[in-house]
């Protein structure tokens, strides 16, 4: 209900309309009773025409109220959905990468789209509609008791049966809705993952196996929905039978009362209309309560996501402007799962404007160093200093704006090359992009593409080769003009000719910048000012290329192993 505050006027208007609709509901049966007893039987045709006109006017007013009620409640629901979805996505953007490591992408998509949409039903078909139905029920029962408490009690004698049926329906459908939401999330997660990895599925001829998995998941989704449909298919006929029983009892008892002249024909007709007015909201209330429950199940999931505070602390106040770029790791210990440490007492420093190369076997912890320097994850122990100040003291976005990163696995978004380079940053001009592309030696290649910088790369860069995507990511890093440049296997997917262009660009780019280069090919890092050798999360050696070769340790073994492979290939 806190989400309603920005739209409280529209909410109050919907509530007022609900009250007026409830007040008008029992008036028509009352007018019918008066018309039958006083004017039809008496043959007063003038008053009959007048009463017909009054009932038509009430009908038109009810139609206008219904129109405004539906419009207001749905507008309210969609406005809240828009605000909540924005809030959820904003929260997702701020979450620690650890959350995404543990949560399937399809599940987060379901929370942001399907579950938030279900919350719309709380307002469009839930809370206010339930209020309207309850008020209608109260108004109808009040007028029924006022007209004839005997006939009312006869009509309500079947109410216990209806309440029992509604309770069974409510409990069954609640479990069904919960299962449906779980199956939707599972289905979304499976589809997102397998469509993204379709090339792997096809390359390894796994279509049939994955299809069997999908058929199983889809069947379970269908079963969950059919279970809910089954409850509906039982409940509504039961309500109709109970309603018919109430009508039968009314006619039986009412006829007896008419014959004894203790009640009128108009009264019986009005009570038949009251029964329809009474059972309609009762029948709909059970359905609306379940709509409300489905929305509550969805909202519970959404608010659980919003309550997740697994995100980087934004307490830092320093703005990372005019920094020199001195980096220091002091006894840093880091684990992704709080238990299995991938970095153990790592200590090193990089002077501003110098180049540090990090080498080591797969899983040594090289990429983890980059991740914690960017504060994509928080470290458990130790300190990371930038210009002698803990990186936690810097404002997060300011810190990251000073670090340029080129990854081995490049992610491109659907859109133009220009959009992928600038990431839609309005402060970056096309001229800056062209200069960065020229520095990388790929300006001519981009301009030869259809549309040049407006060429659509499609989702994940599907229309470009791996090497081309990596070149674009390099331009992306350059155009932001960072003080610190990190290259994580940046040339691994580039051919020899392109690599030479990139190496020339790197030499120009790293002048005056602090650079960290991760590379498996030791030939690309021999001129680094310092080389750090990692093994199983620990620093084994530090020094220049010549110094490390003279130590006859880990680095020399890596170097000799790599060059022996080259000789064998040659």
What token pair was written down for 346? 């790592």
Which H helix or E strand runs over 330? strand 327-335
Do residues 528 and 517 make contact, with C-beta atoms less than 8 angstroms apart? Answer: yes
Q: In 279-296, which positions are buried (b, 16+ CB within 10 angstroms) versus exposed (e)?
A: bbbbbbbbbbbbbbbbbb
How buried is 220 (Cβ within 10 angstroms: 0-12 exposed, 13-18 middle, 19+ buried)?
A: middle
Q: Cα angle at 238 between 254 and 280, to 5 degrees?
A: 65
Strand partners of residue 359: 533
For residue 362, the 8-state DSSP code is T
For residue 338, the 8-state DSSP code is S
Instruction: Report the C-alpha gap between 294 and 176 in whole angstroms.
Output: 9
Q: Which residues contact 178 (CB under 8 A, 6 or more apart)?
A: 297
Q: What is the pLDDT along the chain (570 residues), one digit of tens a residue?
A: 778 888 888 888 988 998 888 888 888 888 888 888 888 887 888 888 998 899 999 999 999 998 998 888 888 888 888 888 888 888 888 887 777 777 777 677 777 877 887 777 777 776 777 788 888 888 888 888 888 888 889 888 888 888 888 788 877 877 887 788 788 878 888 887 787 778 778 877 888 888 899 999 999 989 888 888 888 888 888 888 888 898 898 888 888 888 887 888 888 888 888 888 887 777 777 667 767 777 777 888 888 888 887 776 667 788 877 888 899 999 999 988 777 889 999 999 999 888 899 988 878 888 889 888 988 888 889 999 998 899 988 888 888 888 888 877 777 887 888 888 888 888 888 888 888 888 777 788 888 888 888 888 876 666 777 777 877 888 888 888 888 888 887 666 566 666 666 666 667 667 778 888 887 777 677 788 899 998 888 998 898 888 888 888 888 888 887 765 554 444
Instruction: Report the C-alpha gap between 105 and 197 in whole angstroms.
Output: 13
How buried is 192 (Cβ within 10 angstroms: 0-12 exposed, 13-18 middle, 19+ buried)?
A: middle
Q: How far is CA 57 from CA 38, 52, 135, 312, in A?
A: 20, 9, 22, 62
Cite the DSSP H helix spans in 307-442.
366-373, 396-401, 417-422, 430-440
Residue 162 main-chain phi, psi, to 5 deg: -65, -40
Going 64 to 65 to 67 to 68, the CA torsion angle's sign is positive
Do residues 493 and 467 make contact, with C-beta atoms less than 8 angstroms apart? Answer: yes
SS3 assignment, position 15: helix
Sheet holding 355-360, edge to edge: 403-406, 484-488, 514-518, 355-360, 530-535, 538-543
Work out the number of other CB atoms within 10 angstroms of the CB of residue 68. Answer: 16
Do residues 100 and 238 make contact, with C-beta atoms less than 8 angstroms apart? Answer: no
Strand partners of residue 335: 341
Instruction: Report the C-alpha gap between 241 and 247 in whole angstroms.
Output: 10
Nearest CA to 151 out of 249, 19, 52, 276 is that of 249
pTM score of the predicted model? 0.69
Q: Cα angle at 17 between 16 and 22, to 5 degrees?
A: 100
Do residues 469 and 455 make contact, with C-beta atoms less than 8 angstroms apart? Answer: no
How would DSSP label each residue in 251-299? HHHHHHHHHTTSS-HHHHHHHHHHHHHHHHHHHHHHHHHHHHHHHHHHH
Domains of the chain, with CATH numbers? 83-305 (1.20.1560.10), 315-402+516-570 (3.40.50.300)
Do residues 515 and 536 make contact, with C-beta atoms less than 8 angstroms apart? Answer: no
Going 548 to 551 to 557 to 563, the CA torsion angle's sign is positive
Give residue 282's pLDDT. 73
Give residue 508's pLDDT. 66
Instruction: Report the C-alpha gap between 343 and 336 in whole angstroms.
Output: 10
Residue 516 main-chain phi, psi, to 5 deg: -125, 120
Going 19 to 24 to 26 to 30, the CA torsion angle's sign is positive
SS3 assignment, position 440: helix
Instruction: Report the C-alpha gap between 342 and 8 in whole angstroms.
Output: 52
SS3 assignment, position 403: strand
Give residue 490's pLDDT. 64
> Can you state the angle between helices 159-196 and 265-306, rounded to 10 degrees?
30
How buried is 376 (Cβ within 10 angstroms: 0-12 exposed, 13-18 middle, 19+ buried)?
A: middle
Q: In 337-366, which positions are buried (b, 16+ CB within 10 angstroms) versus exposed (e)?
A: eeeebbbbebebebeebbbbbbbbeeebbb
């Amino acid at each position: 209900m806190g989400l309603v505050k920005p739209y409280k006027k529209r909410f109050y208007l919907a509530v007022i309309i609900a009250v007026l609709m409830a007040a008008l509901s029992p008036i028509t049966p009352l007018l019918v009773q008066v018309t039958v007893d006083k004017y039809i039987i008496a043959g007063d045709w003038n008053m009959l025409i007048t009463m017909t006109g009054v009932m038509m006017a009430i009908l038109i007013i009810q139609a206008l109220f219904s129109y405004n009620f539906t419009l207001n409640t749905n507008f309210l629901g969609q406005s809240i959905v828009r605000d909540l979805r924005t809030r959820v996505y904003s929260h997702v953007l701020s979450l620690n990468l650890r959350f995404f490591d543990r949560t399937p992408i399809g599940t987060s998509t379901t929370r942001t789209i399907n579950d938030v949409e279900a919350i719309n039903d709380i307002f469009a078909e839930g809370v206010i509609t339930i209020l309207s139905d309850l008020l209608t029920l109260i108004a109808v029962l009040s007028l029924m008791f006022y007209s004839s408490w005997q006939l009312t009690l006869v009509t309500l004698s079947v109410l216990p049966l209806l309440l029992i049926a509604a309770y069974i329906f409510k409990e069954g459908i609640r479990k069904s809705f919960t299962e449906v939401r779980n199956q939707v999330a599972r289905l979304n997660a499976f589809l997102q993952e397998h469509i993204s990895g379709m090339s792997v599925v096809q390359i390894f001829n796994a279509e049939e196996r994955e299809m069997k998995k999908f058929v199983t998941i889809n069947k379970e989704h269908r079963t969950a929905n059919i279970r809910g449909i089954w409850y509906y298919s039982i409940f509504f006929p039961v309500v109709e039978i109970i309603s018919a029983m109430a009508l039968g009892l009314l006619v039986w008892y009412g006829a007896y009362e008419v014959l004894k002249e203790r009640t009128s024909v108009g009264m019986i007709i009005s009570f038949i209309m009251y029964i329809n007015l009474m059972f309609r909201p009762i029948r709909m209330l059970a359905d609306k309560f379940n709509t409300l429950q489905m929305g509550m199940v969805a909202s519970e999931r959404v608010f659980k996501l919003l309550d997740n505070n697994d995100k980087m602390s934004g307490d830092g106040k320093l703005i990372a402007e005019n920094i020199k770029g001195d980096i220091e790791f002091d006894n840093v210990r880091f684990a992704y799962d709080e238990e299995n440490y991938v970095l153990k007492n790592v200590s090193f420093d990089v002077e501003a404007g110098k180049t540090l190369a990090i080498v080591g076997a797969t899983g040594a912890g090289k990429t983890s160093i980059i991740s914690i320097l960017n504060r994509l994850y928080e470290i458990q122990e130790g300190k990371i200093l930038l210009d002698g100040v803990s990186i936690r003291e810097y404002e997060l976005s300011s810190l990251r704006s000073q670090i340029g990163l080129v990854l081995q696995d490049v992610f491109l978004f659907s859109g133009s090359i220009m959009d992928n380079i600038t990431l839609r940053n309005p402060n970056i001009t096309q001229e800056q992009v062209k200069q960065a592309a020229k520095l990388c030696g790929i300006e001519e290649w981009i301009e030869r593409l259809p549309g040049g910088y407006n060429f659509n790369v499609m989702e994940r860069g599907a229309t470009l080769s791996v090497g081309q995507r990596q070149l674009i990511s390099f331009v992306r890093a350059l155009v932001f003009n960072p003080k610190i440049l990190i290259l994580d296997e940046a040339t691994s997917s580039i051919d020899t000719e392109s690599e030479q262009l990139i190496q020339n660009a790197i030499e120009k780019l790293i002048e005056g910048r602090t650079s960290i280069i991760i590379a498996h090919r030791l030939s690309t890092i021999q001129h680094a000012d310092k080389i750090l050798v990692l093994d199983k999360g620990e620093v084994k050696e530090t020094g220049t290329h010549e110094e490390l070769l003279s130590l006859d340790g880990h680095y020399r073994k890596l170097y000799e192993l790599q060059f022996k492979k080259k000789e064998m290939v040659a």
